[in-house]
Amino acid sequence: MPPGSPDDVERALRAQGYLPGDGLSTAIFLAIELRRPLFLEGEPGVGKTEVGNALARWFGSELVRLQCYEGIDAHQAIYEWDYQRQLLYLRAHDRGPGSPIVGEDELFSERFLIRRPLLQAIAGTEAHGSAPPVLLIDEIDRADDEFEAFLLEILADFTVTVPEVGTFRAEVPPVVVLTSNRTRDVHDALKRRALYHWVEHPDLEREVAIVLTRVPEASEQLARQVTRAVQALRSMGLYKAPGVAETIDWARALHTLGRDVLDETSVARTLGAVLKYREDAERARTELGPLLEAATGHG
């Protein structure tokens, strides 16, 4: 059933363990209703990628993920030929001089076609009936300009042509989620094709709720103190500010150690769960007093 309102989206994603907030719920609702790609931009660790996972769980459909990286090209994103199997096929049908020659129509057929994420999302929709697959194009800012331009063509009509086989067309257009950590500016043409939403770090209460959803065994006191400490770390100008995933990891690590509250010893010993650079950890250790005060203060 398609959602009737942003509130329906909010409830559905909360049931999947994802707490989106009003702005993101509305953006997701409009992307589904208008059949437009959803472009999510924000700092690393704010939950952009998890939107695609939560949507696929909600729909009960396939999540097709295309992880972008520097140098990715069309073939790596759409299809490749299984050259090893083609070679084995040739050898198996080699009967010596005078034997029939294996034709290109046999070698370059669907049996030897390796479907990469874009072709999977487009050609695999028929099997899912009315539930569209979710195409997650992750970290598009890591790809180059040429790949962006190519992607724009694909998103225009969801068709892919494989010269040796034919044209594949999506029976049910996938729900498309693009993410960017803004390591570079993505071109306006791609942004215009999509609905845009900047994903912020959650406020205190929503982040506490997220931690308790993902680490239900932790006490509310621990979840609240960890969240306050992480939000204090984010304000310290670190090389890599911790995201929500690190908040969850830290709460889980502290609970595993039997801690119900933060103290100087437990913080010092578990900083590796939340900070991933030596310089950031050293900076935090020099600020343990203010950090604990922020974590255990009123609010």
Residue 299 pLDDT > 50: no
**Residue-level pLDDT at 171:** 85
Confidence of residue 127 (pLDDT cuts 50, 70, 90): very low
The residue-averaged pLDDT of 35-49 equals: 93
From 44-58, 113-127, 208-222, the region with the lowest mean pLDDT: 113-127
The residue-averaged pLDDT of 171-186 equals: 92
Residue 267 pLDDT > 70: yes
Task: Tell me how far the alpha carbon of residue 143 is from its chain's centroid.
Answer: 15
State pLDDT tens for residues 68-120: 999 998 888 999 998 998 888 878 776 555 555 666 677 888 888 999 999 99
No. of helices (H) and no. of strands (E), the chain: 15, 9
Give every CB contact of residue 197 below 8 A, 6+ residues apart in sequence: 23, 24, 27, 38, 39, 40, 41
Confidence of residue 11 (pLDDT cuts 50, 70, 90): very high
> Which two three-digit tokens encode residue 53?
């996972």
- Kindly report the backbone phi and psi dihedral angles of residue 142, in degrees, each rounded to the nearest multiple of 5, phi listed first: -85, -15
From 95-99, 236-240, 293-297, the region with the lowest mean pLDDT: 95-99
**Residue-level pLDDT at 128:** 47
The residue-averaged pLDDT of 218-233 equals: 95
- Kindly report the backbone phi and psi dihedral angles of residue 246, in degrees, each rounded to the nearest multiple of 5, phi listed first: -70, -35
